[in-house]
Amino acid sequence: MIVVNTDYIQGKEITETLGLVKGSTVKAKWFGKDILAGLRNLVGGEVKEYTELLAEAREEALQRMIKEAEKLNADAVINIRFSTSAISAMASEMLAYGTAVKIKNKF
């Protein structure tokens, strides 16, 4: 599956737009890691526990979006974006979305 954040794919022609596809996940860190992150906030620097959490959430949301595109028999997803929002003080949602399309080679 080709996944790009542009509205075109170099060397390919979009032959059909199949529609919006999305994938999301809600993640929360284990309480112990949340305490470590809070302590790290006091001294400054990167909060690695949250960096890891967001990387995992992005990948999971992306894979769920791709599965939705595969159900439509898409060849690619163009113009993908990520969005995040707080669900509660302890959990956040990560959303990946884009447009599923059929493509063919231009040449």
On average, the pLDDT of the chain sits at: 87
Q: Which residue has the tokens 């284990």?
A: 30
Residue 41 lies in a domain: no
Model pLDDT, residue 95 = 97
Determine phi and psi for 46, rounding to 5 degrees.
-65, 135
How does pLDDT run across 60-96, given as a tens digit for each residue? 999 999 999 999 999 999 999 999 998 877 788 999 9
Residue 33 lies in a domain: no
pLDDT > 80? residue 39: no
Domain containing residue 83: CATH number: 3.30.110.70
How much of the chain exceeds pLDDT 90, in percent? 64
pLDDT > 80? residue 36: no
Residue 38 lies in a domain: no
Domain containing 21 equals 2-27+60-105
- Domain count for the chain, please give it: 1
Residue 45 lies in a domain: no
